[in-house]
């Protein structure tokens, strides 16, 4: 235990008082005197670093970061990071707070997890510091979409402080005393516990909403609480009330990026976009997201103009462009605008490359653009596309087939909305899914058997940051969508072996929707046909499978641009492909003809015509072929 002289104790007290009064020059002088008297110590060095940072109006971030790294001896933080010296908790806390403001929540959370482990075994730390440590950790858990861990930590905090959630929202408590340790605060220093209670109130509501629990609200009409209330209505599918809550007149002044670190107009415009997207008003959603981007840009421009040299700490991570572009990209995808969607989605891909759903979205944009190009060629349902020559030398040009190939000139690693880049995206998505499956199984073995597991060992769903974790059902849907898209793209590009592999893997998934089940059978069958395994391909086109299909899946799950939106269309496609396989087998032309008799759906009109023409040519019935061409395209006679 260090013993201080009376003069040293007076300097400690005076330094703290000057810091609270924001007299940072005097505070730094007193700390320097104290250091001269008792010698260098980590606590004094840390306090001097904090005061020097405040002297720069919290703008010289790199210098402060270097000072903290020198004090703690850590620039990187592994998963099992531990703090061995309890006196260094404040320095580590400030290091985490810097990372939080610079939008590095995962790294910050590793530090705060270690800090919380120390707090669980230390009883002599400042109560004010403990409160701030809990708040920052809760914020990090919410920012990284780990609601169950946040709920467990909140319960631990309530137990430690001896308060309930009703008290947090409705009652005032006495302000706690502080010791000589100086740390960055989350708000003004003259209202420590009041600020703590206000922030804990918002954290409590956010934790409840993130865990699907109705939140208690104070009777406040501030923009902060209205935004959170709107979020609760949104989660309850009451989209009209959510929009009303965001459109109401607030009692407080609008919060801005320059003063508060968040821009109110940006948040409201983004949330309105989410509401319109939820009710399938995709054009309106796109407009609101575009407004949000403009608000965000203007807010950041204003901050840059106001703080010419360096941004203050609260404003350094205020840009929301990446998150808004994610939302805008998905909305554009649903609006059938794949090229613009691709340009939006590749930006968040640089920051959230561990999100398999984002990789799938980018691949879907590539596939949709390819399908739109293909539809232009498929719009003509006639047999003949043009005529060359005249008289006896006249020749009919049948519908050309676009060749399948992989472009040698295309560099797969360069983001471009083509199928080659889609392969890279889907490979990454598939690899991430496999990783999460293995990780999930390991977590279940380690922790699920113990119901009293620590807060930081609680298992969440599959991470999909910046979105919420995926539950088991959503994860299975994601996996099946990735496999279906992967099989399709590989089939188009001519990699039939891998297409067959992923098609078979798709069909192994239990409770697969009929839409994906049909696609899995089709992709496997076509891959086998291209691999000269026609007999095996026919087994995937078994008529018994057709009788098991349910029409509801095709009506409710079909995307707007997909023509297979009914059971009849699906059955017609399967039957047509069965006829093609039988013809290629070569021993059942009559069976193929009889199968074709049931193919009368308009979705396959052109394909059926072409197959019938092929059968007549194969049989040597040239006159019948001429009649078919003449009946189909009389304009060329």
Mean pLDDT of the chain: 84
pLDDT, average across residues 529-558: 80
In this predicted structure, the answer to whether residue 489 has a pLDDT above a threshold of 80 is yes
pLDDT at 187: 43
131 φ, ψ to 5°? -60, -45
The residues that bridge with 387 in the sheet, in sequence order, are 396
Estimate to the nearest angstrom the gap between the alpha carbon of 578 and the chain centroid: 40
- Pick 397 or 500 by higher pLDDT: 500
Q: What is the DSSP letter of 457?
A: G
Which tokens belong to 401?
A: 């087939």
* Cβ–Cβ < 8 Å for 616, 585: no
> Which has the minimum average pLDDT: 157-166, 327-336, 357-366, 576-585?
157-166
More confident residue, 249 or 276: 276
User: Is residue 107 over pLDDT 70?
Assistant: yes
Three-state DSSP at 312 gives: coil
Q: Which of 54-58, 122-126, 626-630 has the highest mean pLDDT?
A: 54-58
pLDDT at 596 over 80: no
Average pLDDT (407-434) is 83
CB crowding 62-97: b at 16 or more within 10 Å, else e: eebbebbeebbebeebeeeeebeeeebbbbbbbbbb
Instruction: Identify the DSSP state of 339.
Output: H
Which of 299-313, 372-386, 543-557, 585-599 is modeled with the greatest confidence? 299-313
Length of the chain: 637
Higher pLDDT, 454 or 55: 55
Enter the tokens of residue 96. Answer: 């985490």
- Whether residue 572 has pLDDT greater than 80: yes
pLDDT of residue 218: 62
Q: What is the mean pLDDT of residues 416-433?
A: 94
The answer on pLDDT for 590 being more than 80 is no
pLDDT at 130: 87
Looking at residue 372, its pLDDT comes to 87
Q: Is the pLDDT of residue 172 over 50?
A: no
Q: Cα 109–113–115 angle (5° rounding)?
A: 115
| Higher-scoring residue by pLDDT: 177, 341 | 341
Query: Pairing relation of β-strands 462-464 and 467-470?
Result: antiparallel
The per-residue pLDDT for 585 is 83
Q: Is the pLDDT of residue 508 over 50?
A: yes
Which candidate, 293, 269, 273, places its Cα nearest to that of 282?
273
Fold topology of 41-211: 1.25.40
Question: What pLDDT is stored for residue 466 in this prediction?
Answer: 85
Q: According to DSSP H, which parts of 56-146 are helical?
A: 61-72, 89-101, 105-119, 127-143
- The residue written with tokens 């193919």 in the block is 599
User: Which tens digit of pLDDT belongs to each residue from 68-80?
Assistant: 999 988 888 887 7
DSSP bridge partners of 396: 387
| Rounded CA separation 370/482 (Å) | 17
User: Predicted confidence band at 189 (pLDDT cuts at 50, 70, 90)?
Assistant: very low
Phi, psi of 464 (to 5 degrees): -145, 45
Tokens 């703008």: give the residue. 59
Question: Which residue would you say has higher pLDDT here, 6 or 91?
Answer: 91
pLDDT of residue 173: 38
- Of 20-34, 180-194, 243-257, 491-505, the range with the lowest mean pLDDT is 180-194
Lowest-pLDDT choice from 211-225, 306-320, 439-453: 439-453
- Residue 609 is predicted with a pLDDT of 83
- 410/453: higher pLDDT: 453
Lowest mean pLDDT among 32-36, 208-212, 394-398, 449-453: 449-453
Distance CA 487, CA 519 (A): 9
pLDDT > 90? residue 51: yes
Handedness of CA 203, 207, 208, 209 (dihedral sign): positive
Question: Smallest Cα–Cα separation from 572: which of 593, 543, 534?
Answer: 543
Mean pLDDT of 337-343: 96
More confident call, 532 vs 192: 532
Other C-beta atoms lying within 10 Å of the C-beta of residue 373: 11
Q: 544 pLDDT exceeds 50?
A: yes
The pLDDT value recorded for residue 176 is: 31
**435-476 confidence digits (pLDDT tens):** 988 887 777 766 655 556 677 777 777 888 888 888 888 899
Q: Which residue has the higher pLDDT, 552 or 299?
A: 299
For residue 170, what pLDDT is reported? 57
- Reported as a pLDDT band with limits 50, 70 and 90, residue 178 is very low
Question: Residue 166: what pLDDT?
Answer: 60
CATH architecture label of 219-335? Alpha Horseshoe (1.25)
Q: Please name the helix (run of DSSP H) or strand (run of DSSP E) that holds residue 286, with its range, or none.
A: helix 282-306
- What percent of the chain stands above pLDDT 70? 84
Give residue 555's pLDDT: 65
CB atoms within 10 A of CB 348: 22
pLDDT-derived band at 190, boundaries 50, 70, 90: very low
Look at residue 377 in the predicted model and tell me its pLDDT.
64
Query: What pLDDT does residue 217 have?
Result: 65
Which residue matches tokens 């403990």? 130
| Contact residues for 119 (Cβ-Cβ < 8 A; gap 6+) | 89, 125, 130, 133
Question: What average pLDDT does the segment 621-632 reach?
Answer: 82
Q: Residue 463 in 3-state DSSP?
A: strand
Domain layout of the chain by residue ranges: 41-211, 219-335, 513-637
Identical fold for domains 41-211 and 219-335, yes or no, is: yes
pLDDT in tens, 344-354: 999 999 989 99
* 492 has pLDDT over 80: yes
Instruction: Please give the Cα distance from 362 to 368 (Å, whole number).
Output: 10
How far is CA 439 from each of CA 115, 591, 599, rounded to the nearest angstrom? 25, 50, 47
Terminal Cα distance for the chain, rounded: 106
Task: Give 137's pLDDT tier (boundaries 50, 70, 90).
Answer: very high
Q: How far is CA 419 from CA 188, 486, 561, 615, in A?
A: 54, 10, 18, 33
pLDDT of 294 higher than 80: yes
CB 344 within 8 A of CB 379: no
Structure tokens that stand for 503 in this block: 């098609």
Q: Is the pLDDT of residue 183 over 80?
A: no
The pLDDT value recorded for residue 635 is 64
């Amino acid at each position: 235990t260090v013993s201080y002289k009376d003069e040293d104790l007076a300097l400690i007290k005076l330094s703290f008082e000057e810091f609270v009064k924001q007299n940072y020059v005097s505070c730094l002088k007193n700390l320097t005197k104290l250091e001269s008297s008792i010698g260098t110590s980590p606590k004094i060095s840390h306090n001097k670093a904090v005061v020097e940072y405040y002297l720069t109006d919290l703008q010289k971030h790199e210098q402060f970061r270097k000072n903290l790294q020198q004090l703690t001896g850590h620039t990187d933080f592994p998963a099992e990071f531990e703090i061995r010296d309890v006196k260094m908790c404040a320095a580590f806390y400030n290091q985490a707070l810097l990372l939080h403001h610079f939008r590095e929540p995962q790294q910050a959370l590793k530090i705060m997890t270690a800090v919380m482990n120390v707090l669980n075994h230390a009883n002599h730390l400042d109560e004010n510091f403990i409160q701030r440590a809990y708040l920052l950790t809760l914020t990090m858990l919410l920012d990284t979409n780990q609601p169950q861990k946040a709920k467990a930590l909140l319960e631990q905090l309530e137990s430690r402080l001896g308060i309930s959630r009703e008290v947090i929202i409705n009652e005032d408590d006495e302000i706690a005393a502080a010791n000589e340790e100086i740390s960055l605060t989350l708000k003004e220093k003259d209202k420590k516990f009041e600020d703590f209670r206000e922030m804990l109130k918002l954290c409590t509501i956010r934790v409840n909403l993130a865990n699907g629990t109705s939140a208690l609200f104070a009777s406040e009409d501030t923009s902060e609480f209205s935004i959170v209330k709107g979020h609760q209505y949104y989660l309850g599918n009451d989209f009209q009330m959510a929009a009303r809550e965001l459109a109401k007149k607030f009692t407080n002044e609008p919060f801005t990026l320059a003063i508060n670190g968040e821009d109110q107009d940006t948040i409201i415009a983004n949330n309105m976009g989410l509401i319109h997207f939820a009710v399938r008003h995709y054009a309106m959603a796109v407009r609101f997201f575009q407004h949000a981007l403009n608000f965000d840009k203007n807010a950041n421009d204003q901050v840059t103009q106001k703080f010419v040299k360096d941004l203050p700490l609260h404003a350094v991570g205020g840009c929301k462009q990446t998150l808004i572009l994610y939302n805008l990209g998905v909305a554009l995808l649903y609006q059938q605008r794949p090229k613009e969607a691709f340009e939006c989605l590749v930006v968040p891909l640089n920051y959230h490359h561990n999100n398999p759903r984002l990789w799938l979205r980018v691949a879907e944009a590539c596939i949709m653009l390819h399908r739109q190009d293909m539809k232009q060629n498929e719009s003509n349902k006639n047999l003949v596309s043009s005529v060359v020559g005249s008289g006896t030398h006249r020749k009919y040009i049948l519908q050309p087939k676009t060749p399948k190939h992989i472009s040698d000139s295309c560099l797969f690693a360069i983001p471009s909305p083509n199928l080659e880049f889609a392969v890279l995206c889907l490979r990454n998505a598939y690899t991430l899914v496999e990783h999460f499956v293995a990780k999930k199984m390991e977590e279940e073995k380690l922790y699920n058997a113990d119901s009293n597991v620590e807060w930081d060992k609680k298992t969440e769903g599959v991470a999909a940051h910046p979105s919420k974790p995926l539950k088991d059902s959503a994860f299975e849907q994601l996996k099946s969508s990735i496999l279906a898209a992967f099989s399709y793209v590989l089939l188009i590009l001519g990699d039939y072996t891998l297409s067959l592999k992923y098609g078979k893997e798709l069909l192994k998934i239990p409770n697969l929707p009929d839409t994906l089940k049909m696609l899995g059978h089709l992709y496997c069958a076509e891959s086998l046909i291209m691999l000269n395994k026609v007999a095996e391909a026919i087994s995937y086109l078994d008529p018994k499978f057709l009788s098991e299909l349910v029409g509801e899946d095709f009506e409710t799950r079909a995307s707007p641009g997909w023509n297979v939106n009914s059971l009849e269309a699906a059955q017609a496609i399967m039957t047509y492909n069965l006829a093609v396989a039988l013809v290629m087998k070569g021993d059942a032309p009559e069976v193929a003809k009889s199968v074709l008799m049931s193919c009368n759906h308009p979705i396959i009109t052109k394909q059926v015509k072409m197959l019938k023409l092929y059968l007549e040519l194969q049989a040597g019935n040239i006159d019948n072929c001429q009649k078919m061409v003449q009946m189909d395209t009389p304009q060329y006679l």
